[in-house]
Structure 1
């Protein structure tokens, strides 16, 4: 059979076998095409330069020329990449700088994926049985039923049809590269495109190719994400997970909860981009909110424990995309593509599991971080009450924070499914806002105690009257709400870490509790030795500062569920201090922080009206608040 006849046969087989499939237009087709061409140049150009084959160098030059044309088709968003592609084309056309071209192609691929928001992995776990059937119908004629390309027609092709058992060939291929090949074909060769196959079908066929040279799977595969599996060669998998696990990794597709959740988020963002392009800004905003609450939020604790910087970037990107959607801005497309890329970064590590030691360390850090605010509040109250001899109220405070811990432990046992998505944000936001009110009450109450003008003996005699039933209830609520928010959030974080190592969470929790108890003891002992005026003043400042922090966190949580509008400004983000670059949270925080100063200023009296009987030295003259 002649070479031309062979090519015609392959093309006919490819076209007739896919007629039954429904056309499925791809998002970012030109972007994917350019990435595919650059990946070919990255892998094959160095070998072509080394061989000095005129045919191979001409083939690489044609790829580089096509890359330039495709880059020009990207539109305004991709215009910045044209010059970089042209620089690659210039060197390829002269057969120069093989190592530099390969390196620049790899870097450009990463930048294109980020700018275009490209998905480099399937939206759903590939169906290998479907992939096998598609391979036999579309590929076996040229590559052989077993993938060895030992068929007569392969001998007539230039270049020869690839063998999927060739270790050197497969070492430069990933399922994503195979997906691009089936999507666009290889110009100048017998490899056709399969545009009439659906995206899922092409992914299934691409993943199936990698099973052809693998032995039967023995045992269960390690945990891995689809994103990593789609962008790793067999050699890379063997290096990271062991040679014996490669067969199982290629033959069993991951389908973890975290992966599905992030795919839900990605689908929602894609839908938002479609709606935004159609001019439906309100629906685009709703789709982004649903993508965040139903996709990212359920897995946010585990992602934050693994990579807090990435989760912060994701949250900021979601907020920015929502702002663009609210304004109906064309920038939504750019913001959405960046968001898609960040989600894929999260997916790339979604199959990772941490060691027990690292889980212990993360658990300890989480307990200290989440418990610090609550510990300071509770110990400040305990120190003040014990100094005043109000032991009945000390027990009330203890009952309050212990009750909050019990509720948090219950949340941990029941699982994060009851406290995920919008429910969790609502709970954290409302609890924070309630805590703000109670902390302000506590601060004013302590300020009143600091201004009592009698001696300590008289103060103790009046304590029963000053701390009536209302104050007792208030102290319980303060202790309870101050710890409740942190308790719930800690429970959700630990649920995520327990997936990796429940034992590590147990040991980390034990260490964290010990450290927190030592902190409570230290602060309480220090409180016994402080003068009353100093103790109350410091406690008041601590409570007001904590109220300002919780106000920012509560309003931010309400923004994330779409209740409070967004008004971004240029500012820093300090999550621990509740500072976010948004006027809707910063302005109320500023007003709350200034309120005590304005209150003290308003209570000042003119010199001539001062009362002769001054209070005890060092105290301010504001009347006590009963």
Structure 2
């Protein structure tokens, strides 16, 4: 890289000011440190290649400033200081250009996580505002068209950047341009613009990337703001094609999913501020609102795309909430990590799934959510057939069909009426109601099994067992067993339908067919099983399902803040409703143990009666 070209790059790169500058916030210092590391990553290898004494001396001064900036951050960056000094040592010796570049890039990513930094705008930049700001603040030196072809530029050393230069602009990002407007460039005529708001600086940064591009014709490919802010033009061309670059830069996305994640991000930042101010109640409320109003509405879609990331986000929100409730200073660290995870989720937004992948995800979701409900309904139907009470089969069918209707309504209205806390409350109430009805069904089936030992005629037994009250019970057992799964499936499929409605339709059709086959199979097998075996197996299924739904229902109440958090070291199995928390796990253990205890007491009582009869 020659000396004449150096100023052109510097004008858009975030160079550090002294970490000792008065009034500089910690966040600004983090950004400055990142800016110089990004500069070293890109230009140190070029300086080594040129062997220019001027450029090598400049790289050394930048490395020294990086050490000063890291030192100025104090304990929060102490772990990174040795790595920055190791980079400085190699730069001072003009050695290991590839290693320095690689280590700078890695360190930047680690610093972003540690600092909880935002490298993208909070809302879509206003390009018209950016254009107006450019005319007012930048055109005098860079020219109205951005070519820097104005008389004053000829007298400036170094010369202002030419925003029409494809080679220069192709390797830069809006984030680097944002840093330049924030901090300026020391040693040049490029000043900082502290009077501009963050939104104005982002608008200006994004606008300069449009100056060399033609008008947009058509619709741009899906890409998030987070991605556009941190991706060079060259990288966008490589991924999407030159024909889409203008639209990617000129038609900025405003997707609901990314906007919701930004709500979560701002909520966590608010919680960190309140926690630092000692407002424990406010910090806890802010974390809860960030989850319910930010993450929860888009969680189904995120789960279908990256379930591992969603698990990390949920764990991060749990840790942040615990830190907020206890007034722990660790809320700051947990919040920063959570902000980074939210930005990682934002980078994946806008990437729509194709029809085939959406179809298979839909099928898997339907099988996963519908399996327990299918088993319960099929067990009830098989039991009724075995007891020759087929006239009551329609009651069971009416129950699960009604639950599907409720699920369909949730699918249509879910995004508007059943988001955030409302969804969690609905899931919790449906789960706990189902627990009660399933336990009723288990006791009912168990009673039928015991009665068969004392009554010879099945029809005589059924006359007492299936009265009007039992019919209502059968309906609600079937209804509640399917309701929660139907509701949850509707929410998940709604998220997937945003990517591919046709894929959801085909996947749902395959899922319905697969579930019907399962019901018919279990129904036929159950009809052939001995009654005692059938009733015992059905009882176990109902109790196990009740234990699972109890965990899910209590967990949902914890997520809306209705129940406290009491975490413990244990595994998480979301599919089975097992969560590492005393509030949900202890009741599950009690519910699981209760039938065994009752069985043991019953056997002991029976053995005692037999012994008394023998003794008599």
The answer (yes or no) to whether the contact 1:183–1:195 under 8 Å persists in 2 is yes
**Structure 2: distance between partners of 1:230 and 1:267:** 18
Show the counterpart of 1:96: 95
Q: Deviation at 1:181?
A: 1.6
**Structure 2: distance between partners of 1:295 and 1:30:** 28
**Structure 2: distance between partners of 1:364 and 1:612:** 58
| Distance verdict in 2 for CA 1:354–1:386, change over 3 Å | same
Q: Deviation at 1:608?
A: 4.8
The answer (yes or no) to whether the contact 2:146–2:163 under 8 Å persists in 1 is yes
Once the two structures are superposed, residues 128-178 of structure 1 have per-residue CA deviations (whole angstroms, 9 ceiling, x without a partner) of 111112222222233322222233444455544322222222232111111
Moved more, 555-564 or 186-195: 186-195
Alignment pair present for 1:114 and 2:113:
yes
Q: Deviation at 1:292?
A: 1.0
**Structure 2: distance between partners of 1:379 and 1:27:** 62
**Structure 1: distance between partners of 2:252 and 2:87:** 36
**Structure 2: distance between partners of 1:570 and 1:185:** 49
Show the counterpart of 1:618: none
Aligned pairs for 1:523-534 within 5 A = 523-534=522-533
Q: Deviation at 1:277?
A: 0.6
The answer (yes or no) to whether the contact 2:26–2:73 under 8 Å persists in 1 is no
Paired residue secondary structure (1:514): helix
Show the counterpart of 2:610: 610
Show the counterpart of 1:481: 480
**Structure 2: distance between partners of 1:329 and 1:350:** 32
Q: Deviation at 1:241?
A: 2.2
Alignment pair present for 1:359 and 2:379:
no
Show the counterpart of 2:367: 368
Show the counterpart of 1:239: 238
Paired residue secondary structure (2:505): helix
**Structure 2: distance between partners of 1:608 and 1:128:** 86
Aligned pairs for 1:121-136 within 5 A = 121-136=120-135
Show the counterpart of 1:81: 80
Show the counterpart of 1:519: 518
Alignment pair present for 1:292 and 2:259:
no
Show the counterpart of 1:349: 348
Show the counterpart of 1:380: 379
Runs (5+) with no aligned partner, structure 1: 1-6, 12-23, 615-626
The answer (yes or no) to whether the contact 2:445–2:539 under 8 Å persists in 1 is yes
Show the counterpart of 1:41: 40
The answer (yes or no) to whether the contact 1:550–1:578 under 8 Å persists in 2 is yes
| Distance verdict in 2 for CA 1:608–1:127, change over 3 Å | closer
**Structure 1: distance between partners of 2:238 and 2:246:** 13
Aligned pairs for 1:269-280 within 5 A = 269-280=268-279
**Structure 1: distance between partners of 2:607 and 2:599:** 16
**Structure 1: distance between partners of 2:435 and 2:608:** 38
Show the counterpart of 2:14: none
Show the counterpart of 1:619: none
Show the counterpart of 1:143: 142
**Structure 1: distance between partners of 2:96 and 2:278:** 47
Aligned pairs for 1:93-492 within 5 A = 93-454=92-453, 458-492=457-491
The answer (yes or no) to whether the contact 2:411–2:490 under 8 Å persists in 1 is yes
Q: Deviation at 1:480?
A: 0.6
Moved more, 599-608 or 506-515: 599-608
Number of residues of Structure 1 aligned to a counterpart in Structure 2: 593
Runs (5+) with no aligned partner, structure 2: 1-6, 12-22
| Distance verdict in 2 for CA 1:533–1:221, change over 3 Å | same
The answer (yes or no) to whether the contact 2:171–2:234 under 8 Å persists in 1 is no
The answer (yes or no) to whether the contact 1:26–1:199 under 8 Å persists in 2 is no
| Distance verdict in 2 for CA 1:89–1:602, change over 3 Å | same
The answer (yes or no) to whether the contact 1:450–1:537 under 8 Å persists in 2 is yes
Paired residue secondary structure (1:408): helix
| Distance verdict in 2 for CA 1:538–1:421, change over 3 Å | same
Q: Deviation at 1:293?
A: 0.9
The answer (yes or no) to whether the contact 1:452–1:459 under 8 Å persists in 2 is no
Once the two structures are superposed, residues 238-286 of structure 1 have per-residue CA deviations (whole angstroms, 9 ceiling, x without a partner) of 2222211110111122112112211111111111111111000100100
**Structure 2: distance between partners of 1:366 and 1:234:** 38
Show the counterpart of 1:494: 493
Structure 2 length as normaliser, TM-score?
Answer: 0.93
4+ long deviations beyond 6 Å: 24-27, 611-614
Show the counterpart of 2:504: 505
**Structure 2: distance between partners of 1:453 and 1:514:** 36
| Distance verdict in 2 for CA 1:514–1:189, change over 3 Å | same
| Distance verdict in 2 for CA 1:25–1:273, change over 3 Å | farther
Structure 1 length as normaliser, TM-score?
Answer: 0.91
Show the counterpart of 1:28: 27
The answer (yes or no) to whether the contact 2:570–2:579 under 8 Å persists in 1 is yes
The answer (yes or no) to whether the contact 1:571–1:580 under 8 Å persists in 2 is yes
Show the counterpart of 1:15: none
The answer (yes or no) to whether the contact 1:173–1:233 under 8 Å persists in 2 is yes
Show the counterpart of 2:19: none
**Structure 1: distance between partners of 2:320 and 2:594:** 34
Cα RMSD after superposing both structures:
2.0
Paired residue secondary structure (2:451): coil
The answer (yes or no) to whether the contact 1:43–1:172 under 8 Å persists in 2 is no
Aligned pairs for 1:541-556 within 5 A = 541-556=540-555
Q: Deviation at 1:73?
A: 2.1
| Distance verdict in 2 for CA 1:173–1:131, change over 3 Å | same
The answer (yes or no) to whether the contact 2:451–2:461 under 8 Å persists in 1 is no
The answer (yes or no) to whether the contact 2:224–2:349 under 8 Å persists in 1 is yes
Paired residue secondary structure (1:150): coil
Q: Deviation at 1:442?
A: 1.1
| Distance verdict in 2 for CA 1:248–1:473, change over 3 Å | same
Moved more, 418-427 or 381-390: 381-390
The answer (yes or no) to whether the contact 1:354–1:501 under 8 Å persists in 2 is yes
| Distance verdict in 2 for CA 1:26–1:491, change over 3 Å | farther
Q: Deviation at 1:67?
A: 0.9
The answer (yes or no) to whether the contact 2:171–2:233 under 8 Å persists in 1 is no
| Distance verdict in 2 for CA 1:78–1:365, change over 3 Å | same
The answer (yes or no) to whether the contact 2:271–2:287 under 8 Å persists in 1 is yes
**Structure 2: distance between partners of 1:606 and 1:247:** 83
Show the counterpart of 1:621: none
The answer (yes or no) to whether the contact 1:275–1:281 under 8 Å persists in 2 is yes
